[in-house]
Amino acid sequence: MELMIGVVKCLKRNILDVSCRVYTIQVVNYARLAEVGRLETPKSQGKYDTGQLFLHRVFGYRGVVLFPWLARVYDRDIPNKRERPIYFPSNQEESNFNHVGKEVKGRTHTFYQVLIDSRDCPYIESSRSLYAIPGLDYVAHEDILPYTTTEKQPLQHELFDKFLMYYPDKDPPFGAQETLRAWQKKNHPWLELSDVHKETTENVRVTVIPFYMGCRESQSTSVFWWRYCIRLENLGELTVQLRERHWRIFSLSGTLETVRGRGVVGQEPVLSSSQPAFQYSSHVSLQAPSGHMWGTFRMEREDGYTFDCRIPPFSLESKNEEPTTPAGSN
């Protein structure tokens, strides 16, 4: 398991000392301590530039910023004065289920498209199918712990040299190549991060990020595809384990589907103090250009207490474009 020793010492004092060295421990057949750089003070204002090296505050991996996204964050933990339905439940039961009728105001927030160091990927507590491209992630501004290093190739990823170039006089010293700009422009439709949804139940926070993947047409029907990434984070002291999932999927065509099952993506992840977060992604398709999803995760705490952790409702919206075959479909 990757553990950032320098970061842990600083965070215990609630201070991010710019002189702190950043270390990693890699447990293979032996423990090895290696310095990777020096922490910088995180930015409270502004954005991080392309090429900024960082450690992920929750997952602890090494990464580099490719480019920022501006997203609307709908946080259901923040109280709102007005309440009126913004989704369209089929009956009163659905209106009460998962607080579907609660209005949530979106707030603009900065996220980043990043590359993950391939040496750290095996230690990240997540589904192996999380990323559309291996080692590609989305990181919120507050999850970035920036650091500097004197290495000219500090990150191991097959796209690092293709996307970034070393400029000794720049800060950060890694800048975008034309290949990165071209790749971003070409893949913008399915990379775009627009909405983020959050809700906390019994100290377990669920974050959902949906992505529209495209439309596939046949002679008889059109099928619209979305990918959604989910992050679960244990904010409490007691260990919890995800046991079951319960989804409700509403289509603009008027259908309401229920999906139940054990765990998620074949796993029943444990959220502990040492590994408090888990991420995974999945896909959903509708025979309509829009819809909604919401649901619950059945969680079991280490003391035997079970509860339903709410999955915040999120919209499935298509875009005006030519029909395409989404990545990963047949």
pTM over 0.75: yes
- Looking at residue 23, its pLDDT comes to 58
d(CA 195, CA 236): 26
Contact (CB, 8 A) for 165 and 74: no
Nearest to 214 by CA among 289, 134, 280, 281: 289
DSSP conformational letter for 160? H
Determine what percent of the chain falls in helix, strand and coil, rounding each to the nearest 5.
10, 45, 40
d(C-alpha 190, C-alpha 193), whole Å: 8
130 vs 145: CA distance, rounded Å: 22
Structure tokens at 79: 């109280």
Burial of 41: CB neighbours in 10 Å, binned 0-12, 13-18, 19+: exposed
Distance between CA atoms of residues 143 and 313, nearest Å:
23
N-terminal to C-terminal alpha carbon distance within the chain: 36
pLDDT of the residue at 171:
87
Q: Tell me, what's the pLDDT at 29?
A: 40
Q: How far from 297 is each of 193, 230, 263, 269, 287, CA to CA, in Å?
A: 24, 11, 8, 11, 26
DSSP string across 14-72: T---TT-EEEEEEESSSEEEEEEEEE-PPPSSS-PPTT-EEEETTT--EEEEEEEEEEE
Torsion angles phi and psi, residue 11, rounded to 5: -70, -30
Residue 21's DSSP bridge partners are 38
Domains in the chain (CATH in brackets) are: 1-39 (no CATH), 191-317 (2.60.40.1470)
Other beta carbons within 10 Å of 260 = 10
Whole-number Cα distances in Å, 307 to 203, 210, 245, 265:
11, 25, 12, 20
Residue numbers of the chain with a pLDDT score lower than 50: 1-19, 25-31, 81-102, 127-130, 322-330
pLDDT per position as a tens digit, 274-327: 889 999 989 999 999 999 999 999 999 999 999 999 999 999 998 765 444 444
| CB within 8 Å of 160: residues ≥ 6 apart | 64, 115, 153
Residue at 189: amino acid letter: P
Sequence-ordered alpha helix ranges (H) in the chain: 5-12, 92-96, 160-163, 178-191
pLDDT computed for residue 100 by the predictor: 44
Amino acid of residue 43: K
DSSP string, 232-269: EEE-SSS-EEEEEEEEEEEETTS-EEEEEEESBTTB--
